[in-house]
């Protein structure tokens, strides 16, 4: 027998490592995670086992950018990588490059691929979302007619906003053809122009149970629907493609109904607040109008005061016009003097005569314009004075009316008078003093 080659431990481990890495350069292994540990460096270390054996695994942080699922003990996965050997300890291990959830498998991969595709198309962008109406008149509900989701939705709507009209468009929400029925129900809801908002909902379930809401055809129908859509699919942790495309994603069917309807209790509270506000504003407006009316009556009682202001404005305008004329004449005189100096130097007799004629013409036009303006203002003032005198209290008294006053206040009602007090009756000429003996309410 030939003599055996004697190897050191390190040499043996090195040769074993090379043999393993060359024989198992790329391998996929399925099993259950156990003894999961994440180091401070971010690397994962765990064992992958089945009913008969286990293997140590290392999943380094540099490879984790491809990881689309969370890792936990007891999770069934498919790990892809290479077999190696950690020489210092002689540990045989799997160096993982990719992990896939065995329970989801192909369905989950299809979900991720479709999600990425639609995201690149911009269907998830906020500017693609339509606003949800605050006060809908007609809601469409697309769900199973037999599921608990419909009961939760209707109970919530009747509690929050019972006056809204609801129409059920029943559809299967699970199964191979469920997405076709969902698309047909959406088309029917879109055909009704009275519908303000659509609720697309079902109860919770596994990825396979919710798969009808992960079809590209349904996603495109939701994206192209002109009516706002609220999705309420599954539980809070469940996400489907329909949730991402919908205009609003609610965590549950109940939450979808709450988003679609206002709370009638809040509305009644707001109405009461607005009613109180309107009453306050009306009272304030009436009080202000009453003050304005009183002020106008006091002011209208003295036509001389009313006429005084137009006269003052007229005097001011007259002075202003005179000042403007003086300024204009001064400016023209100054300009004429400058021109005269220039003419004295150049001696252009023909241009001098022409400028003098223009100056005289401008002076005449200015005087004519001033006279016309003054005549117009005097005429307007005369008309205003005649109108005020016609509408004034004195003219009213001359037509046979009288003003009754008691305690320096004008009496407008018999009940305002006090028996035994003096009453001044103002006539067009003079006053009459009388004593109140009896009040007869007209």
pLDDT at 89: 84
pLDDT band for position 400 (cuts 50, 70, 90) = confident
Terminal C-alpha separation, the chain: 147
pLDDT tens digits along 230-240: 999 988 777 89
- Mean pLDDT of the residues in the chain: 86
Report the range out of 9-18, 123-132, 385-394 with the highest average pLDDT: 123-132
- Percentage of the chain exceeding pLDDT 70: 93
Burial of 352-390, coded b for 16+ CB within 10 Å and e otherwise, reads beebeeeeeeeeeeeeeebeeeeeebeeeeeeeeeebee
Contacts of 405 (CB under 8 A, 6+ apart): 411, 423, 424, 426
pTM score, whole prediction: 0.46
pLDDT tens column, 197-232? 999 999 987 777 888 999 999 999 999 999 999 999
- pLDDT for 23 equals 79
> Who wins on pLDDT, 140 or 340?
140
- Three-state secondary structure along 327-341? HHHHHHHHHHHHHHH
Residue pointed to by tokens 């495309």: 245
> Where is pLDDT greater, at 307 or 353?
353
Q: Is the pLDDT of residue 1 over 60?
A: no
More confident residue, 249 or 92: 249
d(CA 442, CA 439): 9
CA atoms within 13 A on the CB side of 53: 6
Average pLDDT over residues 99-120: 80
Scanning 143-252, the segments in alpha helix (DSSP H) are 148-160, 178-191, 216-224, 241-245
H-helix or E-strand spanning residue 312: helix 303-346
Cα–Cα distance measured from residue 211 to residue 173, given in angstroms and rounded to the nearest whole number: 9
């Amino acid at each position: 027998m030939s003599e055996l080659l004697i190897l050191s431990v390190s040499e043996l481990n090195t040769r074993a490592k090379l043999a393993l890495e060359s024989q198992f350069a790329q391998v996929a292994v399925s099993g259950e995670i156990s003894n999961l540990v994440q180091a401070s460096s971010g690397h994962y270390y765990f064992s992958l086992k089945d009913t008969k054996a286990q293997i140590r695994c290392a999943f380094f942080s540099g490879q984790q950018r491809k990881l689309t699922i969370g890792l936990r003990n007891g999770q069934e996965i498919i790990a892809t990588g290479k077999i190696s050997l950690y020489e210092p300890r002689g540990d045989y291990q799997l160096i993982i490059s990719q992990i896939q959830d065995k329970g989801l498998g192909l369905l989950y991969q299809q979900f991720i691929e479709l999600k990425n595709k639609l995201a690149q198309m911009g269907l998830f962008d906020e500017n693609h979302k339509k606003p949800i109406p605050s006060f809908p008149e007609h809601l469409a509900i697309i769900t199973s007619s037999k599921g608990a989701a419909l009961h939760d939705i209707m109970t919530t709507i009747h509690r929050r906003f019972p006056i809204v009209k609801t129409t059920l468009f029943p559809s299967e929400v699970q199964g191979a053809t469920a997405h076709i029925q969902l698309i047909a129900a959406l088309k029917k809801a879109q055909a009704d122009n009275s519908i303000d908002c659509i609720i697309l909902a079902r109860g919770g379930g596994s990825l396979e149970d919710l798969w009808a809401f992960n079809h590209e055809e349904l996603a495109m129908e939701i994206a192209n629907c002109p009516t706002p859509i609220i999705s309420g699919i599954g539980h809070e942790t469940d996400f489907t493609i329909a949730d991402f495309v919908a205009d609003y994603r609610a965590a549950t069917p109940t939450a979808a109904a709450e988003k679609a309807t206002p709370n009638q209790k809040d509305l009644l509270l707001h109405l009461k607040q607005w009613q109180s506000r309107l009453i306050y504003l009306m009272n304030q407006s009436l009080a202000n109008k009453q003050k304005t009316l009183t002020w106008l009556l006091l002011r209208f009682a003295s036509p001389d005061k009313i006429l005084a202001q137009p006269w003052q404005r007229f005097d001011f305008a007259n002075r202003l016009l005179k000042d403007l004329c003086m300024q204009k004449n001064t400016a023209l005189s100054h300009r004429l003097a400058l021109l005269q100096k220039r003419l004295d130097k150049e001696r252009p007799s023909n241009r001098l005569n022409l400028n003098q004629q223009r100056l005289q013409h401008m002076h005449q036009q200015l005087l004519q314009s001033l006279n016309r303006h003054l005549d117009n203002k005097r005429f307007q003032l005369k008309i205003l004075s005649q109108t005020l005198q016609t509408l004034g209290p004195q003219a009213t008294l001359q037509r046979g009316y009288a003003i009754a006053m008691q305690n320096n206040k004008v009496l407008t009602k018999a009940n305002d008078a006090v028996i035994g007090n003096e009453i001044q009756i103002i006539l067009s000429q003079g006053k009459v003093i009388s004593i109140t003996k009896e009040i007869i309410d007209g």
